[in-house]
Structure 1
C-alpha cells in the first residue's frame, strides 16, 4: 500500500497543500506542524512517487469497533453512511471497522455486543448505546484496558468516555418547545410524549429540554403521559391509538425517538386534524408525514456527520494525531425542517 501526500494529509489532519509545502520546503507552515508532517513521512515510509514506485512496508493497522442499535431504525442508515465514507478516506492509513448492529435497547444485548467487539481486537470503540450503570462500568473497564471509547448519538453520564459525537439534545428539546409556543400561544396544550427508551440519555434530554423551555416561556401545558416505544412502529401505533382514544383532550404528540411512522399512523387513524405532531430526523417516512401535515416540523441532527466524525476521531486517537481536539465533544447542528424545506 503506497503512502501518498493524501495519506500524510489525513494522518496529520491538514490539507494536501500544507503537506506539499512542507515536503518541498516552501515555508509558510507553523514549525510544529512541519515537524509533525516530516515525522509522519519518516514513520510511514513516504517516498515521492514520481516513477510510480510502490511501498510495501506500510503495515500499520487500526481496528475500530462500532455498535449501533440500527436494526429496525432507519435513522442509523445515515450514521452508517458517514462511517462508510470515513472508511473509504482512511483505509489507506490502515483503518479497519468492525460493525455490530442490534435491535432496540436491551442491556444484556448491548453488553454482549461490546464484549464481542473487544474480543475481536478492537483498539477503539464507537458506541451508540444506552444509559445504565452496567454499561457505564463496561466503558470504564474498556478505557482502563487501553481501549479508546467514543460515544455516538447518545452520551452516557459517568462512563469516563473520551468524547461524545452527536446532537445537543437539550438544545433540540428547547427548540421544539420554542416553536410549539409560537404556534400555540393562546391554547392549553395537552401533550403525549412518545420516547424510544428512558435508558437513552439523548431521549431523556430531549424531554427535559422541552419541558424546561415550556416552563421558562410560561406556556400553558400539561403532560398527559410519557410512553416508551422501544423505537418500534408497531408498539408505538398501538400505544398512541390507545391513549388518543382514552384522552381526547390530547392535542400534541411529541416523539423523541424513532417509531415516527407508527405514531403518524395512529394520528391518521384517529381522524383528528387538531393534533400537533413534533418529531426528529428527516428519514423518508417522516418526510412524507411532514408533507402531509401530520407532523408540523422535525429537528434534524446530521447523522452522516456523526458517523464520519466518530471514525475520524477514533483514528486520530489511535494514531496520536490532532490529540488536542479529539478529546473534546463534537456537537452536530440543530436543524429545523418544515414542509417547505424538507426532503
Structure 2
C-alpha cells in the first residue's frame, strides 16, 4: 500500500481491522441524488479515492448500478482489491406496488442476495456484509445464523447491522460478534444517543458507522432552497428537513454553524464531519460524494479538532432543527424483531 496515502485510522470495533475513520459512501455516485456521471468519470473518481487512502468503501445491492460499477473497477484493478475494505448490504428489495419499502431479512433471501452481489462485484467475497434493514418478521437470530454460514463459507469476513434497535443488536451479538452498526448520525440526528443503541454498541465493542453525517447535504451549507434539490432523480426532495415549513428554520441553523466553521477557517461540511468524529474513536463516518474536490474537502476534516465548547455549541444549535428523520417515515427505523 506504499503507493497510496495513509489516513487517520482506528479499529473497526473489537473484532474489526484498522480502517480510516472516514469511509466512502458510494450511493451518491450511482444516481440516488440525480443522474450518475458516465462510467469513465466514476472510474477516475474511484482511482483518486484509492490514491488518497480512502479505502473503506460502502455500497449496497439497492444503490443503483453501484455493485456493477465496482465489479468493473475491480476487474480492471485486481491488484488493488487487497487494499480495499468493501462493505455491501442486503434486505431492501425495492418498492412495493403500493409504494414504500419491501424488506426481507430472511435467511433464504440472505443466501440469494450474497450470490447476486458477488456476481455483480465479480468477487469471491466481501469484507463486510450488512443486514440493511430488519424486516420485523424474521427473528434476528435466524438472520445471523445465515450470515454466519456465509462467513464460514468464506463469502463474507465481517457481519454488520443497519438501523437496528439496541435489543436486536444484543440478540444478534449473542449469536456471533457484530463488527459494526451502520446508522444515521450527525449533529442533526442524534437518536442513537437516546434510544440505547450507542450505549449497547459500546458495551459490546461494536463500532458505529455513521451514514448521512452531512445530513443528506444540508450540513454542507450548500442547500438554501427547494430548487437546490429539484434535479431529476434527486430523492432529497422528500426529506422532512427540506419541507417548505421547515427549510427556512433549518437553513438559519446551518448559517450559525457556518459562522463557527468560518471562525476556524474550515468549511461547514468539514466542521460537521469533525463533529461526528469527535463523538468517540469508535465512530466512523461514510459521507457520500461523486466529486474529487468534495472528497478532498471531506478528507481534510480528519485534521479538524473541536474544543468541548465548540462541540457543545454545534450540538445546541442543531437541537433546534425541525422535521422528523426520513427513516422514521419508513417504519423500519431502529427495528425490533420477533422472539425466536
TM-score where L is the length of structure 2: 0.26
Higher RCO, 1 or 2 (CA under 8 Å, sep at least 6)?
A: 2
Q: Which of the two has higher C-alpha Rg? A: 1
